[in-house]
Amino acid sequence: MSNELTPQNIKEAPEAVAGGPVLELDEIQGDVLLGLQKLFERFVFFEIKDVKTFKAALRRKVAHRITTSRTVQLREFQLRDHKNQGNKTILPNVGLNLGFTNSGILKLVPGADLKDPSYAAGAKAQAASLNDPVDAQKNPSTWVPQFLNANIDGVFLITGGTQAAVDMEAVTVLAVLGASVAVSFDETGNVRPGPEKGHEHFGWLDGVSQPGINGLSNPFPGQRLLDPGLFVFGYGTTGNPPLVWMKNGSFMVFRRLKQLVPEFDTFILNQGQTLGMDPVLLAARLVGRWQSGAPVALTPAQDDSTMGPDPQRNNNFDFADDQAQRRCPFGAHIRKTNPREDLVPQEKGVDPHRIIRAGIPFGPEVSSAEETAGATQQDRGLLFVCYQTSIPNQFEFVQSKWANNPGFIFGKKHPDGTPVNVGIDPIIGQSNAPNHVRTTDEPVSNYPTGNVRSTLNEPQDFVVPTAAGYFFVPSIEAVESELSS
Ligand code: N7H
């Protein structure tokens, strides 16, 4: 793997894959399909204060700096060469991407209707329907104040191999924009250090399962090749752009998700004891993968640390042979968010709801004081990012209709014929029950023959949403013309 993280399993083909649509990689921003190379990623959220000056600076001084998918692809090959030649130095590989909220787009193109009701409403208005904790006025109650009070018209995603390189790019971009923008919120995520590289804060390898993209990737075993129009406008049957200039653009969902790591660890240990099972196995069954990334669907009883990072094996399963949830509980995070053959045909039941994920952890490592106290003292978690061409049908669908829905996966039966009460996603599910209490069916595997039912009661959410934004990430051409003229 390269020395700068990119989502695994999608960065393969140097040229368009034969038979697939030809993707305009010079037009599509680099984070959307392939993922900018990133050890650090700074998110600079801003308000447009002076539209005319902003447009002029955008066209003349920012547009050409935006990192395209073509550049990301070339950099990936450079990084492989660099590594193969035995180089350990980190390349700066600065990346710049840009997205606009609906309020930002309306400042640049008055009256524009991007025909996505959730985007138009904005993330704050949608929070209650995602079961984010809200107050009596339905305003999110756990969000950072800037996302509640400041105006956010757009965001720069600035990535790179070093913090210094990222910061220098941020200074340059903000300098050319001058007083035409005001920064509303600014946060840097970073890949975790040492052996935790590539792992999110609960400890799991991240970026293991991504959809294959027809025309871009040669699929790995078990990876479905999907219509690029699900992720970028202008391709296939699903990605018809409502406005001509939306071609090669994508909707980006941003969520700042705080993770209560010491609390989660304590919970897993205690529940392991209560249920009489190895806490490591319990944790693996809640996610559907061991922390190494190996899927419990393939290796249910013990970890296989060679499997997680191996794209030839790490997605080569579809749950079809596991209808008694012996290997992987129906409620496991990866089964709730990508149920594969549980919903057939997949092209109707699952594919239209897939997302491309491109987030990065934020916050410091857990301190020994936090470990001892079993309580979070400093914010840490995931700066979650995903791409799609329909926010209601993709991100919001996965979060609210699948993860938060205790009945999903529907229609499952225990071997004795009684219905399974699956429970909400034990990792990201937001319960609207009082105090957010939730349950998960079958954390105890009883593998391979047992028949004793088990239920896990989770006393709280261990992932707490603390900010969100819905953005449109336009093509380079749109940035250079419609949005800046
Ligand atoms: Fe999840 N985690 O560490 O437990 N996620 N996720 N996620 N997630 C996945 O395949 C995690 C979040 C999806 O195709 C893995 O990369 C955490 C949101 C989907 O097999 C792990 C947070 C949403 C997949 C985690 C978080 C999703 C997926 C397995 C928040 C969408 C692919 C490794 C802090 C609403 C499923 C991998 C598939 C995988 C974790 C957020 C969705 C380990 C900690 C908000 C679609």
User: 66 and 98 in contact (C-beta within 8 Å)?
Assistant: yes
> pLDDT band for position 13 (50/70/90)?
very low
* Residue 154 belongs to some domain of the structure: yes
With vertex at residue 263, the alpha carbon angle to CA 364 and CA 424, rounded to the nearest 5 degrees, is 110
Residue 9 maps to a domain: no
CA distances from 259 to 306, 336, 378, 380 (A): 27, 19, 10, 6
Domain match, 35 and 113 both:
yes
How close is the Cα of 41 to the center of ligand 1, in Å?
19
Ligand 1 contacts CB of residue 257 (under 6 A): yes
Q: What is the mean pLDDT of residues 197-221?
A: 96
Domains contained in the chain, number: 2
Q: How far is the CA of 219 from the centre of ligand 1 (A)?
A: 20
233 and 307 co-located in one domain: no
Q: With a 6 A CB cut-off, is 207 part of the ligand 1 pocket?
A: yes
What is the arithmetic mean of pLDDT over 400-417? 92
User: What pLDDT, on the 0 to 100 scale, is given for residue 54?
Assistant: 98
Please state the atom number of ligand 1 nearest to the C-alpha of residue 206: 16
Check if 398 has its Cβ closer than 6 Å to any atom of ligand 1.
yes
Please give the pLDDT value at position 138.
Answer: 86
> 135 near 148, Cβ under 8 Å?
no
Q: Which atom of ligand 1 is nearest to the CA of 386?
A: 31
Whether 416 is catalytic is: no
Amino acid letter, residue 203: G
Report CA 160 to chain centroid distance, whole Å: 18
Burial of 450-464, coded b for 16+ CB within 10 Å and e otherwise, reads eeeebebebeebbbb
Nearest alpha carbon, ligand 1 atom 28: 334
Ligand 1, atom 12, lies closest to the CA of 428
Confidence of residue 446 (pLDDT cuts 50, 70, 90): low
Residues spanned by the domain of 226:
14-257+471-480
Instruction: Point out the ligand 1 atom lying closest to the alpha carbon of residue 427.
Output: 4
- Look at residue 7 and tell me if it is in a domain: no
Same domain for 211 and 315, yes or no, is no
Instruction: Give the pLDDT of residue 17.
Output: 57
Q: Whose CA is nearest to atom 26 of ligand 1?
A: 428
Mean pLDDT of 332-356: 97
Rounded to the nearest integer, the mean pLDDT of the chain is 92
Pairwise CA distance, residues 157 & 43, whole Å: 5
Asked whether residue 68 falls in the same domain as residue 27, the answer is yes
In this structure, the answer to whether residues 382 and 403 fall within a common structural domain is: yes
CA-200 nearest atom, ligand 1: 3
Altogether, the residues listed in the chain come to a count of 485
C-alpha triplet 207, 309, 343: angle, nearest 5°:
55
Residues 139, 221: one domain? yes
- Using alpha carbons, list the distances in angstroms from residue 358 to 75, 86, 169, 283, 386: 17, 28, 20, 23, 6
The answer to whether residue 329 is domain-embedded is yes
pLDDT tier for residue 11 given thresholds of 50, 70 and 90: very low
Please tell me what DSSP assigns to residue 424. S
406 alpha carbon – ligand 1 mean position (Å): 18
Q: Containing H/E element for 140? A: none
Residue 150 lies in a domain: yes
Ligand 1 geometric centre to CA of 210 (Å):
10
pTM summary value: 0.96
* 413 vs 32: CA distance, rounded Å: 38
Q: With contact defined as beta carbons under 8 Å apart, do 24 and 32 qualify?
A: no
- Sequence-separated (6 or more) residues with CB below 8 Å from residue 227: 214, 235, 236, 237, 238, 239, 351
Quick check: CB of 395 below 6 Å from ligand 1?
yes
Amino acid type, 367 = S
- β 381-388/360-362 pair status: antiparallel
